[in-house]
C-alpha cells in the first residue's frame, strides 16, 4: 500500500464518523438505504424517495434564488447558519463571488474547483457509508425499521435512541 493509499484510507475512516451535514442514510418512507447521487442529493434504492442533506438543501435554494444571503438561505431551508458558513468556508457553496483558485482533492490529489474532494472520491466516500449502513441494517433489521422490534435477540442487543 502506498503512502497516498494509506492516507486515503485513513481519511475515509475519519470521514465516516464526521458530521455529513445531516446526510440521509435511511429512507424515512420505507427504511431502505439512501444512495448518494451527487451534489447533496440522495435516492432510496428501494422506493425511489429523494432526500437532501444540508448541502443539497442550501445549494438548491441558492440555485433557485441567486444572490441570496446566508441569513435568507438559513431561514428558508432550515439549515443552521453555522453549517452554511462552514460550507462557504470550505468553498462548497458559492455565496461569495467565485474565485479562480484551484485546490486539490484531499484524497487523490486531483485538481478541483471547489470543496475538499473530487466527485469520484466523494462518491466513493458515500458508497462506504451506504455499505456500512447496509451491513448495520442486515445485522439489526429491527433497529433500522420503523416497525416495533420483533423481540428477538437482535432487537434486544440494539438500543433504540428515539
Ligand atoms: Zn424508500
Ligand atoms: Zn479525489
Domain boundaries, the chain: 3-157
Ligand 2 mean position, distance from CA 141 (Å): 33
For residue 135 the three cell numbers come to 451491513
Q: What is the pLDDT of residue 44?
A: 97
Ligand 2 mean position, distance from CA 112 (Å): 8
11-64 per-position pLDDT tens digit: 666 555 456 789 999 999 999 999 999 889 999 999 999 999 999 999 999 889
DSSP 92-135: SS--SPP----EE-TTT--EESSSSS-HHHHHHHHHHHHHHHHH
For residue 48 the three cell numbers come to 425511489
User: 131 — phi, psi (to 5°)?
Assistant: -65, -40
Q: What is the pTM of this model?
A: 0.55
Of 40-44, 116-120, 126-130, which gets the smallest average pLDDT? 116-120
Calculate the dihedral angle through the C-alpha atoms of 140, 129, 13, 23, rounding to the nearest 10 degrees: -110
Average pLDDT, the chain: 79
Please give all residues whose CB falls under 5 A of ion ligand 1, grouped by chain where several chains appear.
27, 29-30, 32, 44, 46-47, 49
82-95 per-position pLDDT tens digit: 888 888 777 677 65
CA distances from 141 to 28, 32, 35, 48 (A): 15, 11, 18, 20
Amino acid at each position: 500500500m502506498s503512502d497516498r493509499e494509506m492516507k486515503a484510507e485513513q481519511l475515509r475512516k475519519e470521514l465516516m464518523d464526521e458530521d455529513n451535514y445531516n446526510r440521509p442514510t435511511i429512507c424515512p418512507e420505507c427504511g431502505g438505504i439512501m444512495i448518494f447521487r451527487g451534489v447533496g442529493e440522495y435516492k432510496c434504492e428501494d422506493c425511489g424517495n429523494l432526500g437532501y442533506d444540508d448541502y443539497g438543501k442550501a445549494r438548491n435554494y441558492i440555485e433557485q434564488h441567486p444572490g441570496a444571503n446566508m441569513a435568507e438561505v438559513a431561514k428558508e431551508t432550515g439549515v443552521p447558519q453555522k453549517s452554511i458558513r462552514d460550507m462557504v468556508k470550505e468553498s462548497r457553496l458559492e455565496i461569495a463571488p467565485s474565485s479562480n483558485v484551484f485546490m486539490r482533492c484531499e484524497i487523490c490529489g486531483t485538481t478541483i474547483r471547489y470543496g475538499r474532494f473530487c466527485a469520484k472520491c466523494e462518491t466513493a466516500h458515500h458508497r462506504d457509508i451506504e455499505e456500512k449502513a447496509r451491513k448495520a441494517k442486515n445485522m439489526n433489521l429491527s433497529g433500522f425499521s420503523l416497525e416495533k422490534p420483533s423481540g428477538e435477540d437482535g432487537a434486544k442487543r440494539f438500543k433504540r435512541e428515539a
